[in-house]
Amino acid sequence: MTRFVAPSADEHDELPADTPGERTTAAAVAGGSRSAGRPFRDAAAWSIGGLSFLVSALFLAVNLAYNQWNFIPPVDDAYIHLQYARQIGTGHFLQYKTGDPISTGASSLLYVLILGGAYALGVQGAAFLPFAMTFGALCLALTAAGTYRLGTRLVGRQAGLFAGLLVALSGPLAWGATSGMEIAFVAFLLVSLLLVFTGERAQSRFVWTPLVAVAAALTRTEALLFAGMLGLAMIWHVIAHARGTRAAWPRVIGRILWIGLPVYAAGAQYLYYWSVTGSAEQNGVLAKSLLHMPAVYPLEVADKVLSNFRIFLDAFTGLSTQDYVFPGALLLAVAGVIGLFRRFPQWRGLALAAGLGVVLVLASVSTLEYSDIHHMRYVQPLMPILLLFGVIGIHSAAQLFTGGARRSVLVGGVVVALLFTVSQLPAWSLRQAQQAAGIRDQQVTISHWIKGHLPRGASVAVNDVGAIAYFSDRYVVDLIGLATTGFATPNLHGAGSLYEELRHLPQQRRPDYFAIFDSWSVHGLGEGGLFGRELITFELKSPAFSHTTIGGLSACQAARTCNKVTIYQADWNALGSGAEPLQAPNGQIRDRLNVADLRDEERHDYQVIPAHQGFQPETHVKTVTGPDGGDVVDSGRHVIGGESFTFHDLIPHQPLTVMARIDATEPEADEPTGSRAVQVEVNGKVAGIWQFDADPRGWVETTFEIAAELVTDSAVTIELGPLQEFLGPYPDYQSYSYWASQ
C-alpha cells in the first residue's frame, strides 16, 4: 500500500482522486473524484467548453469579415477532405473523382468518413464547409472540457481549471479547429484516450480505452503512435494487477489481446490499401517523407529530422520569436511529467506513456520534408497534452513552497501563462482570416475561373489539388500524387519523371490544361513542351500566404514564384519525340534505357552512383530543335559521379554500340576536361574511356564501342564512373537516353 503525507489545508484541491486501497483526504474526494464522476453536471466543464466554442466562433466571425461573409478555410488541404467526404457521401468510396481508382490521399480516414456521413444525411452545398468548421469548433470545446476533467483527475480541480482555460484560449488550436481540417478532432480523441484510461486504470481492466484508441488510429498515423505507447502502459498495468491478484492467465492474455485493437485496426486499414492500390503506404507519406527521396542518405536524413525536431522544440518552448505557446511551456511540461511520475505512483504509466508518446509523434512528423507546414498542423493535436503537463509542471514547482506561497506560485505562474495565451489570440485570428483570404484570391478564384471558362469534361493537371477539384466540376490530375495514385514517387524524383508518368497515362486521361505554380515551370516541367498557349495568370497580392510555415517562408515563397499560378493549354504534339536517336544507329537497336522513366529504370536496374553523399539525382525535361526543325523532348537526370544500368535482349559475342544522349556540363576555364569523361566498365571489366562533348544548344548524341568478347550474355551491366576514384574533378552531366545496337 502506498502511503501519502497528509496535505496542508491549502492544497486539498490539488490531490488526485486515488484508487481503492490508496489513502486520500475527504477534501480531495470532494474536489476531485466527485466532479470527475459527474461529467454532465460539472458547471466548470460546461463553462470551459462554452468559452472555447465562443473563441472559435469569434475566429469564424473574423474569417467571414475578411471574406465578404463567405466561409473559406485558411488551407487548401481542407478541400481535399471535403472532396473525399463528398465522394463517400455519394457512394464513391475513396475515389477522389468519380471513375478514379481508389487512392490513399485521405490522410484522416475516420474524419472523412464522418464528414461523408453528414453529406449523405443532407449537409451539402454551401453548408458543407461551415459544418466541417463548426464540427472542429465543437471538438475543440470538448477537448478543452476534457482537458479540465483530465487535469482534475490527475492532480486536482484547480490545475484542471487552469489547463482547460489554456486550451480554450489557445490561438493555434482555435486556428486548427476552424481550418476545416481534422486537427481538433484528433486532439479530442487524444484527450479522450487519456481520460478514459484514467477511469479504467483502477481495476486494470481496459475495455473502452482500446476502442477510443481505434478511433484515434483510424484518424491519424501520429495518433496511432501515441495510442501504441499508451497501450504498453495498459499492458503493464494488466500484468502488474494480475500478479497482485493471481488472476487466471488466459483471462490476462485475453485482456492484452483486446488492448491490441488499434494495431489490428491500423493493420486492416493498410492491408486494404495494399489490396486495392498495390501499396500499403498512404500517398501523403509517399509524397512528403524524407525516407522516400530518390536517394536516401541516413546521416543526411537524420540531420534534417533533427533540424525539424528542433523547430518543434523551439516553438513549444515558447522562447523563440513565434507566439505558439507561453514561454517555457515545454520545459514546464517535462517537469510536469517528472512531477506526476514521482508524486503520484498510480499515474506513472500514464506519465511515461504520454511523455514518450509525444516524443515519438514529434520524431515521426520530423521525417516529413515540410513537417512544420501550416503552423505545424501535424502536431497541433498534441497541444492540449502539452498545456496540461505544463500546468502540472507549475503545480509541481509550487510544491517546493509551503503555506500561502505555494498557492501564490501556482496561481501566479498560470496567470502569467494565461496572459501570454490571451495576448496571442488577436494575431492568430487575423492570421487565419488573412490566409483564408489568400485561399479565396487564389485557389477558390482559380477553381471558379476553370469552371466558367474551360470546356465541360476537360481534364486539368494541378499541383494544389483541393479547391480546384472541389469547385471546378472538372477532372483533375494531381501531379503531387496525393489524390491521383501513381504520381507521388515521380514527383519526388522531379519534372522528368512526372513527364514520363504523364506520358504513360491513357490518352483520354491526359490533362488538357495545366494549372501550375510558376515555381514548377522554373524547375523544369515547362521545359518539356507540354505547356502550350498561356490562358491566364493569377497572382496572390495578400502578404499572408496559406503555405507559410512556422519556420519561415519556403524557397518559392521567398522568390515569389509560388504566389503565381498560370493556366496553360496542354500541348502533346512533341510527346514521345525523343524515343528514337536523332542519328542513325550502328546496327539494329536491341534495347533502350529511358532515363527518368521510373518503370524503365527499374527494368534496367538503373542507379546513379554519386560522387558525394547527399546529392539528389533529380530529373528534368528538355526540349531541343531536331534536324528537321521540330521539337524533340526527352527527360533526364543530373549525374555527378556515374551511373550503372543493364541492357537486355543482346546477341552474345557480338560487338555492341552504346549510343548516349548526353548534356555534358561545360567545364570552367581552369577546370580539367576530365569532368566530361567517364570510365566505362562492362560486367566489372574496364572497357575504355568515353569522352563526352558539350553543346550549349542542348544535348549531343555520342557512341561508345564495346568489344565482342565483353558481351558474354544476352544481358550486360555497364557502369560509368570517374577516371580516378575519390579525387575530382568528377563527371558532371545530364543523361537522357541510352541505346544498345548490334
Residue 614 has pLDDT above 90, yes or no: no
Alpha-carbon span 115 to 646, nearest angstrom: 50
Sorted by sequence, the CB contacts under 8 Å of residue 633 that are 6+ apart come out as 499, 528, 529, 574, 575, 577, 578, 621, 622, 623
Confidence at 497, pLDDT banded by 50, 70, 90: very high
CA distances from 436 to 110, 368, 433, 502, 546 (A): 25, 24, 5, 32, 7
Q: Which three cell numbers stand for residue 645?
A: 544500368
Alpha-carbon span 564 to 546, nearest angstrom: 13
Q: What are 548-591's pLDDT values in tens digits?
A: 333 333 444 433 445 788 999 998 888 888 899 988 898 999 99
Alpha-carbon span 67 to 440, nearest angstrom: 8
Mean pLDDT of 15-43: 47
**Range with the poorest average pLDDT among 3-17, 31-45, 285-299, 533-547:** 3-17
Confidence at 322, pLDDT banded by 50, 70, 90: low
CA distances from 638 to 21, 555, 663, 731 (A): 70, 21, 9, 11
Mean pLDDT of 468-495: 91
CA distances from 284 to 95, 279, 304, 485, 603 (A): 15, 12, 19, 10, 26
Question: Which residue, among 147, 154, 151, 121, has the nearest Cα to 135 in the 3D structure?
Answer: 121
Alpha-carbon span 564 to 442, nearest angstrom: 8
Alpha-carbon span 164 to 390, nearest angstrom: 12
Instruction: Give the type of residue at 465.
Output: V
Q: What is the reported pLDDT for 321?
A: 60
Query: Which residue reads 499492458 in cell numbers?
Result: 235
Confidence at 629, pLDDT banded by 50, 70, 90: confident
**What are the φ/ψ torsions at residue 499 (nearest 5 degrees)?**
-60, -45
Residue 384 has pLDDT above 90, yes or no: yes
Question: Alpha helix (H) ranges present in 619-695?
Answer: none
Instruction: Give the type of residue at 719.
Output: E
Q: What is the reported pLDDT for 39?
A: 65
Question: Which residue, among 289, 299, 293, 241, has the nearest Cα to 21 in the 3D structure?
Answer: 241
**Range with the poorest average pLDDT among 227-236, 315-324, 439-448, 726-735:** 315-324
Q: Tell me the percentage of the chain whose pLDDT exceeds 70.
A: 89
DSSP string, 477-515: EESSSSSSTT-HHHHHHBHHHHHHHHHHS-GGGS-SEEE
- 8 A C-beta contact, residue 346 and residue 197: no
DSSP string, 301-321: HHHHHHHHHHHHHHHHHT-SS
**Range with the poorest average pLDDT among 195-204, 218-227, 354-363, 525-534:** 525-534
Q: Is pLDDT larger for residue 668 or for residue 597?
A: 597
Give the other-Cβ count within 10 Å of 419's Cβ.
11
Q: What is the reported pLDDT for 553?
A: 38
Confidence at 278, pLDDT banded by 50, 70, 90: confident
Residue 616 has pLDDT above 50, yes or no: yes
Confidence at 166, pLDDT banded by 50, 70, 90: very high
- 8 A C-beta contact, residue 516 and residue 499: no
Q: What is the reported pLDDT for 41?
A: 80
Mean pLDDT of 286-314: 90
CA distances from 277 to 109, 171, 274, 293, 696 (A): 16, 39, 5, 20, 44
Mean pLDDT of 659-684: 75
Residue 175 has pLDDT above 90, yes or no: yes
Mean pLDDT of 295-322: 88
Mean pLDDT of 528-535: 84
Q: What is the reported pLDDT for 612?
A: 85
- 8 A C-beta contact, residue 528 and residue 495: yes
Query: Which residue reads 473502452 in cell numbers?
Result: 208
Helix, strand, coil shares of the chain as percentages rounded to 5?
50, 15, 30
Residue 644: strand, helix, or coil: strand
Instruction: Tell me 222's DSSP state.
Output: H
Q: What is the reported pLDDT for 100?
A: 86
Alpha-carbon span 729 to 664, nearest angstrom: 13
Mean pLDDT of 218-239: 94
- 8 A C-beta contact, residue 295 and residue 610: yes
Q: What are 385-428's pLDDT values in tens digits?
A: 999 999 999 999 998 888 888 888 989 999 999 999 999 999 99
Q: What is the reported pLDDT for 695?
A: 79
Q: What is the reported pLDDT for 30?
A: 37
Confidence at 37, pLDDT banded by 50, 70, 90: low
Q: What is the reported pLDDT for 186?
A: 97
CB-neighbour burial class of residue 607 (10 A; exposed 0-12, middle 13-18, buried 19+):
middle
Q: Which three cell numbers stand for residue 435?
A: 490566409
Q: Is pLDDT larger for residue 485 or for residue 589?
A: 589
Residue 218 has pLDDT above 70, yes or no: yes
Instruction: Tell me 686's DSSP state.
Output: E
Alpha-carbon span 707 to 653, nearest angstrom: 8
CA distances from 152 to 7, 36, 140 (A): 17, 7, 18
Alpha-carbon span 180 to 132, nearest angstrom: 5
Q: What is the reported pLDDT for 508?
A: 84
Mean pLDDT of 199-216: 94
Question: Which residue, among 225, 223, 150, has the nearest Cα to 183 in the 3D structure?
Answer: 223
Question: Alpha helix (H) ranges present in 121-220?
Answer: 128-154, 157-168, 171-177, 183-200, 209-217
Mean pLDDT of 95-101: 88
Say how many residues make up the chain.
742
Using CA of residue 116, residue 118, residue 119, residue 121, what is the dihedral sign? positive
Alpha-carbon span 596 to 228, nearest angstrom: 40
Mean pLDDT of 311-340: 89
Mean pLDDT of 613-619: 89
Alpha-carbon span 34 to 450, nearest angstrom: 59
Alpha-carbon span 467 to 472, nearest angstrom: 8
Residue 13 has pLDDT above 90, yes or no: no
Q: What is the reported pLDDT for 151?
A: 96
Report for 173-182, 316-325, 486-495, 728-737: range of highest mean pLDDT = 173-182
Residue 331 has pLDDT above 80, yes or no: yes
Q: What is the reported pLDDT for 280?
A: 84
Q: What is the reported pLDDT for 33?
A: 42
Q: What are 701-724's pLDDT values in tens digits?
A: 999 999 999 999 999 999 999 988
Sorted by sequence, the CB contacts under 8 Å of residue 619 that are 6+ apart come out as 493, 494, 495, 496, 497, 524, 595, 596, 635, 636, 637, 638
Instruction: Give the type of residue at 258.
Output: W
- 8 A C-beta contact, residue 186 and residue 381: yes
Confidence at 19, pLDDT banded by 50, 70, 90: very low
Q: Which three cell numbers stand for residue 464?
A: 494544389
**Range with the poorest average pLDDT among 250-254, 318-322, 591-595:** 318-322
Q: Is the pTM of this model over 0.85?
A: yes
The terminus-to-terminus CA distance of the chain in angstroms comes to 86
Question: Which residue, among 310, 84, 285, has the nearest Cα to 182 in the 3D structure?
Answer: 84
Q: Which three cell numbers stand for residue 355?
A: 511523455
Q: What is the reported pLDDT for 523?
A: 54
Confidence at 18, pLDDT banded by 50, 70, 90: very low
Residue 8 has pLDDT above 60, yes or no: no
Q: What are 106-164's pLDDT values in tens digits?
A: 889 999 999 999 999 999 999 999 999 999 999 999 999 999 999 999 999 999 999 99
Q: What is the reported pLDDT for 524?
A: 66
Give the other-Cβ count within 10 Å of 502's Cβ.
23
What is the pLDDT of the chain when averaged over all its residues? 87
Apex CA 608: angle with CA 613 and CA 677, to 5°?
95
Q: What is the reported pLDDT for 694?
A: 80
